[in-house]
Amino acid sequence: MNRTIYDLIGLSAGVMFILALKGLSHPRTARRGNLLGALGATVATLAVFFYVSDPAEKNGSLPLNNLGWILGAIAFGVVVGVPAARKVQMTAMPQLVALFNGVGGGAAALVAIVEYLKLGDSATTAEVIATVFTVLVGCTSFSGSIVTFLKLQELMTTRPVIFPGGRFVIAGTLAGTIASAVWVITALGTTPLLVLAGLSLLFGVLFVLPVGGADVPIVISLLNAFTGLTVAAGGYVLDATLLIIAGTLVGASGTILTRLMAEAMGRSLFGTLFGAFTAKPQDSAGAAETRPVKSGTPDDVAILLNYARRVVIVPGFGLAVAQAQHTVRELADLLTAKGIDVAYGIHPVAGRMPGHMNVLLAEANVPYEQLSEMEEVNPTFPQTDVALIIGANDVVNPAAKTTPGCPIYGMPILDVAQAGNVIFLKRSMRPGFAGIENELLFDSKTTLLFGDAKASLTKVVSALKAL
């Protein structure tokens, strides 16, 4: 296969990536778009093994060097990736995405380092700059994604990690990283590059530590954009047009998604990027769980639902934990059969990543027409008789509007407090991912149904059928 054919195959793979992104823009075409993107990646990977370059080209001719190592790495990735994709629970999907982001950024950084060592003194200034960028951003993305994973997995605190003089440490690390980048460009050599990699890894950790649980979805999207940019820069170093196309698509789409997520949470993009320098310690959540609440039974909830004219179901992370999406679909169908207007209120960051609830409900074949975005459903809450909240907390917490300085202040929320009755399905009085109490839990019109969401909904469905 000559270069022309190879480039044409790469171009076709790039077109597949673009069409994949287009497909992912709508739930009805998301599956097809995902498959198309996977096909493009497969074609691009296989084409490399059949390309034979002209000996006169800069990178010489193939066959590939270290073919055994390459095939071994591919086999290892398949052995790890396929079971992970098949067995990972929806609750763990954000963690998996964070890890994939990190692996992508780290791989791009390692490839850039190896290629830099290979080029040696023959490397142009542009290639050195691209290498520096790839190593800096790739290592930052890798270590930052690892910290994000630890927060999502709750292997460390989900609250912002702030320490005395932290902003000065972070600023100093950033300054050292930039200085190392300049050192690599001016002096070349292996030592400056390794120093740059080490400082970038440290900065990635310090960059994410001050991020609280409420902002983790934004960080996931931001690190995804970082990974895309590293791949694009690595493509320039390797003279691989397809990597430039794929990396640019990921970087651009990730940046757009980050901006949209920041807007959905009432955050400025500047604040997300530089929050590490301005973060302040926050008070821990109080012991409000000792206050009295109105607890109900499945029969109580069934009666409220049975005599409602409109019900809005608000899904959250707890729905994913309980794997109750099929049961909630059964409940909604039962209410609809009784002539009750049913809708799903979907917050942009419900769950722990963008689109988490949409994917979960699609798994249960919930009609897309019943899914209402925040801007669409909020004006209807004053006419809603019952708001049924299943495992959500932060996205319906009035503190976002009433408590300046709290982690979610300024974040747009679903205005469930305006409904006639509010029902919370919760395992316990534990606060949401942001770590703050929800005063709505103690409101006189709020009824709490404690227990596993799936088991509770099953009992509610049985009680409804008996009415």
427-449 pLDDT, tens digit each: 887 776 667 788 888 988 999 99
pLDDT band of 334, cuts 50, 70, 90? very high
Same-domain status, 89 and 199? yes
pLDDT band of 405, cuts 50, 70, 90? confident
**Residue 388 lies inside a defined structural domain of this protein:** yes
Per-residue pLDDT reduced to its tens digit, 281-298: 444 444 444 678 888 899
Which sequence positions are flagged as catalytic?
394
How far is it, in rounded angstroms, from Cα 375 to Cα 264? 10
Same-domain status, 206 and 325? no
Q: Does the structure show a pLDDT above 90 at 392?
A: no
Task: Give me the CATH number covering residue 338.
Answer: 3.40.50.1220
Same-domain status, 25 and 105? yes
Same-domain status, 270 and 332? no
**Residue 361 lies inside a defined structural domain of this protein:** yes
Q: Which of 266, 269, 273, 356 is nearest to 318 (CA)?
A: 356
Give how many domains the chain has, as a whole number: 2
**Residue 185 lies inside a defined structural domain of this protein:** yes
Residue located via tokens 């316990």 = 428
Q: Give pLDDT, residue 284.
A: 45
pLDDT band of 255, cuts 50, 70, 90? confident
Same-domain status, 257 and 172? yes
Among 244, 278, 312, identify where a domain stops. 278
Of 158-167, 193-202, 263-272, 281-290, give the lowest mean pLDDT range.
281-290
pTM, two decimal places = 0.72
Q: Give pLDDT, residue 286.
A: 44
Spatial contact of 210 and 148, defined as CB atoms under 8 Å apart: no
Same-domain status, 301 and 229? no
Q: Give pLDDT, residue 337.
A: 92
Same-domain status, 119 and 8? yes
Same-domain status, 242 and 379? no
Same-domain status, 336 and 265? no
Spatial contact of 141 and 226, defined as CB atoms under 8 Å apart: yes
How far is it, in rounded angstroms, from Cα 309 to Cα 339? 8
Spatial contact of 106 and 201, defined as CB atoms under 8 Å apart: no
Interior CA angle at 428 toward 427 and 429, to 5°? 145
Same-domain status, 86 and 179? yes
Q: Give pLDDT, residue 1.
A: 61
Q: Give pLDDT, residue 315.
A: 92
Of 61-75, 319-333, 449-463, give the lowest mean pLDDT range.
61-75
- What six digits make up the tokens of 263? 């807007």
**Residue 311 lies inside a defined structural domain of this protein:** yes
**Residue 283 lies inside a defined structural domain of this protein:** no
Among 219, 245, 278, identify where a domain stops. 278
How far is it, in rounded angstroms, from Cα 377 to Cα 357? 15
Same-domain status, 47 and 168? yes
**Residue 58 lies inside a defined structural domain of this protein:** yes
**Residue 205 lies inside a defined structural domain of this protein:** yes
Interior CA angle at 342 toward 337 and 343, to 5°? 150
Q: Does the structure show a pLDDT above 80 at 417?
A: yes
Q: Does the structure show a pLDDT above 60 at 58?
A: no
Of 42-56, 98-112, 304-318, give the lowest mean pLDDT range.
42-56
Among 219, 251, 278, identify where a domain stops. 278
Q: Give pLDDT, residue 379.
A: 93
pLDDT band of 275, cuts 50, 70, 90? low
Per-residue pLDDT reduced to its tens digit, 193-238: 899 999 999 998 888 887 766 677 777 788 888 888 888 888 877 7
Q: Does the structure show a pLDDT above 50 at 269?
A: yes
Same-domain status, 240 and 354? no
Q: Give pLDDT, residue 265.
A: 67
**Domain containing 359: what range?**
288-466
**Residue 94 lies inside a defined structural domain of this protein:** yes
